[in-house]
Structure 1
Amino acid sequence: MNETRTTCPYCGVGCGVVARVEGGTVSVRGDETHPANLGRLCVKGSALGETTGLAGRLLRPVVDGEETTWPQALDVAGERLREVIETWGPQAVAFYASGQLLTEDYYAANKLMKGFIGAANIDTNSRLCMSSAVVGYKRAFGEDIVPCSYEDVENSDLVVLVGSNAAWTHPVLYQRLVKARQQNPAMKVVVIDPRKTATCDIADLHLPLLPGSDAGLFVGLLNMIQGTTEWPLARVAEFCGLPAEDVGMFYDWFITAPRAITLYTMGINQSSSGSDKCNAIINVHLASGKFARPGCGPFSLTGQPNAMGGREVGGLANQLAAHMNFEPDDLSRVARFWGTERLAQTPGLMAVELFDAIARGEVKAVWIMGTNPAVSLPDSHAVCQALAACPLVIVSEVMRDTDTSRFAHIQF
């Protein structure tokens, strides 16, 4: 019998898992010592052992449809990438990474692309869910940093969930909230969502606002905190399509609560004005003083298992490693640390524009890691057309046959 402590690869809660191998089979249980889940697992995490079979797995590298050895596949990949760089320059290469990568893998990919290929064309599927939160935090604090912890959720007086069906998308964290509310009956929970979801089951107040009106709700709260009348309660209620008394109740609870925390995720981030919505939430915490204290703050819930890890090491096209930017001092510091004279000097192509550049023939080689953009990116038909015409497509994926790997010249 052999046990290994590891991490669940599904949602962004980051639950600790103890995997046991016995008699050729794998079973899992929650890690009681892990601070994210304290032994709890949801139904997906509990079934992790069932995903370890070999059926459908990519067990050996494949080059041009033929299985080969690792040394041969790596040599071919290196030769073909070098040929593209020598012919078209480093900007003709792009990496599309994933919140499913380990932080160390993210770091290595980012270092290879930005530090030694010499272009910043590495972006990630985290762009689709977390980039609005990144911009919001950087605007407010000058850095992409989440100023809250799970313990803050449990130790608050008012928990506000905005655009988040945590009962389904972050189930273990949701269960921590359920337990905390049971232990503290005075805690209030507000759910702000056009739909009545499973998360509303524990809500003291559900605000089914009109889609897209979230910023108006929080701007109204900011005005009330600051004592201004430019966005009065009646106007907020009309804009959001809510009863004025419900809006007033939410505002009163937020202002009078000694501690308040706001949890927000895709319903806020995935919007044409997502960054502004994030800042509207952050601003009410800063203006009310419900920030940088236990049980308080604006808490962006990561959608993917390691989107935050990728952001930490610079796995987005507009970041360097360790939250640094494309500024002279940061560029010099990273180049010295990596020992390179080829460091990318300007931001690269972001997710959607990266695939647009492939379609235009500007990017000749793309390495896709742990994600399936032929399904997950907007306008999947256009993505498939772009990949079909790309001279070099490398895919790193645990499964042999995916919608994206159909276009791969090399699979690792």
Structure 2
Amino acid sequence: MDINSLYIIKRDTGVCIYHKDFTESGFDPQLLSSFLVAMTSFFDEATRSLTSQARAFEGSNYKIVVEFGDWTLGAISTKEDTEGIRIKLRRMIERFEEQFNVLRWVDIDLAVQTRFEQNVIDEFVRYLITPETVITVRAEWQHYTNRPDVMSFLRIIPSICSVRDAAEFLEVPVEVALNLAAEALWENAITVYNPVKPDDIYQATSLTGQDVGDEELSPETARTLTELDGETPVSIAAERVRTSDMKRFLNDVAILEKRKMIELVTPAHAIAVRYTSVLQSLLKGCSKIVGLNAMRKVFFVSREELVEMYPWMAYVTLEEGIDIEMRSSLTAATIRGTISPDILNDGFRVLIQFITRRVKDLTGAQPINKIIAITRDEIRQQYPSTVFEIEWESLAV
């Protein structure tokens, strides 16, 4: 999980009115809430600012990320300060202030801990669970939860199974099993593990990692460290090292991750890599019909129309010919997660729409729609489990 603790604090009193500790550390939330309110007030006074300026505090191995609402202060203890985490925190503050607005004026018991719980599960736990997620039921799970639906769920399913298998075992829709697994994880009644997928994108972190016992890497996977560059899906890396056993290869990648030798790229970077692959394939196909110079012109005219709305798009350009390049400053922002995945997704989608419509004016609808279909098939080969996160229907003309 990306975060350790979540706090919602009333700004005028410094009282923590909602708290969730995901690590079971037992730390008193009121101590931290008083500190945060005092420090943010100090910085406001020191800078003579009308709006709060202090937005993060850093410890030895954690950061406390701070965002402000109208009358509350939200804080998250996390390892990394990313835009994605800040977006989640701002949504939590907005929902909390809307649901419990009466607490702005009076201090009454509204059962905040239980009534706000589902919002936190949806934002911080549910995204960890996919149909392929492997569930391991804790041996003494009865001591962790008293929710009737979770207890019924855990009594029936095998002690180790995927969420999809659990849904089939219970004969319920996968979405129901996903929600039940999220609630069970919230209660600490299960642990979860997400297997390596062929279209996952990893980047190397170091050449030596933590000891994991007798697990040995195959020669192919040892060579893979040079291929996991933050740009290449696991499936393509496997092809480059000519592995003969994909299942073994995925298991070995999981060992590398366990040893902290590699890590998944941020969601923002994964979206950027996926969409640049789409753009590259699309431009290549279109240039065969309209020519390189015409395609370069279409790209740059389309991009310039969108730069005012999406300033980061100025850093997506073409090298010689039609080779897509992301400038280093944008790449660094996606790697650090300081740019929102949603903003990237929207921008790239609109850019491709502008390009396909301009190409249609040159070739007609049928050729460009065929190129889009070919591009989709190529991307499916590289990203089989995430290809449909791209809105292909909106790209057709």
Task: State if a TM-score over 0.5 links the two structures.
Answer: no
Larger helix fraction of residues: 2
TM-score, normalised to structure 2's length? 0.24
TM-score of the two chains, using structure 1 as the length reference: 0.23
Structure whose alpha-carbon radius of gyration is higher: 2
Higher relative contact order (CA 8 A, sep 6+): 1
